[in-house]
Homo-oligomer: A and B are copies of this chain.
Amino acid sequence: MTRYRLDLAYCGTEFSGYAKQVGLRTVQDELELGLSKALPNRSGTSVPTVVAGRTDTGVHAKHQVVHFDDNTACLNTECVLYKLNRILPSDITAYSLKQVPDDFSARFWASERVYKYRICDCPYPDPLRTADVYNTFRKLDVKKMNKAIRGFTGLHDYSAFVKFRSGSTTIRRLKYFKFKRVHYGKDKGYIVATLKADAFAYNMVRSLVGAATFVGLGKRTTSWMKECLENKTRCGATGPISPRGLTLEHVKYISSPAKARRRMKKVQARRKISYKCT
């Protein structure tokens, strides 16, 4: 069996998330069905895939990575990619397909995941950006939001901003977290929150951004988020914001397989410790 890496993008609006769910339209279902048709000698048989980041219902991905195995000798990746894109619906696009080492893992070899959350805070939002921009309709104070999240990067237990899942840790190392106002066109713009980490816990990005909007709207003080983080207290205001504004922007991998293997071992060891901490 040979392992392949597939880089793709999708608009999450019409999907019930990435991961398979019985009776619901998911990215994984469409992708695995597409692969079973595009790969030679696989017609009809399912092609199990492993993904870098399982996105929630309505969340988009500008760059997502999966891996799968296939036993066709000398697979013509260019041809499979072309066929796959003709089969996939218009809200999924596969960008590249290439052979990778047999122990490559789209999930564990990833060294960084970058998420962006876009918020429009003007009373009259752009109707052409409803798919990937969330609207608060009321002005947000970006300075206050950035003040509230000061000290959030680094290794922390994000219990207050994570939906608990048994067997999963709430401790993560956040590398970057910032809000910035960007403008496009005349009088148009939005606020973009950028978050970078090697991995994120369940609902973590949407909860952190959601809590910051409470500060930006003046409903909470700038010290409130830090208090929540320290007290590990989850409440309504630290719950997740709408998935609409969220996009998985990029998944970064270590180029050297030897380094990636060493890192994977480290990550797995650290996760066990982290799990005990929680």
Contact = CB atoms under 8 A, between A and B. Distances in A.
A33 B185 CA distance: 29
Given A11-B130, A131-B131, A93 B124 contact: yes
A60 to B, nearest CB: 6
A94 interface: yes
Contacts of A275: none
A90 interface: yes
B126 A185 contact: no
B131 A9 contact: no
A151 interface: no
Interface string A102-137: 000000000000000000000111111011100000
A138 to B, nearest CB: 12
Nearest to A81: B124
A124 B7 CA distance: 11
A99 interface: no
A132 B126 CA distance: 13
A9 B90 CA distance: 25
Interface in A158-215: 185
Contact of A92 (B85, B91, B127): B127
Contacts of A90: 127, 130
A62 B95 CA distance: 30
A94 B127 CA distance: 10
* Most chain B beta-carbon contacts within 10 A, residue among A9, A90, A127: A127
A128 B9 contact: yes
Contacts of A10: 127
Contacts of A127: 9-11, 90-93
Given A62-B185, A131-B131, A9 B126 contact: yes
A131 B94 CA distance: 18
A126 B60 CA distance: 12
A223 B130 CA distance: 41
Contacts of A124: 85, 93-95
Given A10-B127, A82-B123, A93-B127, 4 more contacts: A62-B185, A85-B123, A93-B124, A128-B131
Interface of A: 9-11, 60, 62, 82, 85, 90-95, 123-128, 130-132, 185, 247
29 contacts: A9-B126, A9-B127, A9-B128, A10-B127, A11-B127, A11-B128, A11-B130, A60-B128, A62-B126, A62-B128, A62-B185, A82-B123, A85-B123, A85-B124, A90-B127, A90-B130, A91-B127, A91-B130, A92-B127, A93-B124, A93-B125, A93-B126, A93-B127, A94-B124, A95-B124, A128-B131, A128-B132, A128-B247, A131-B131
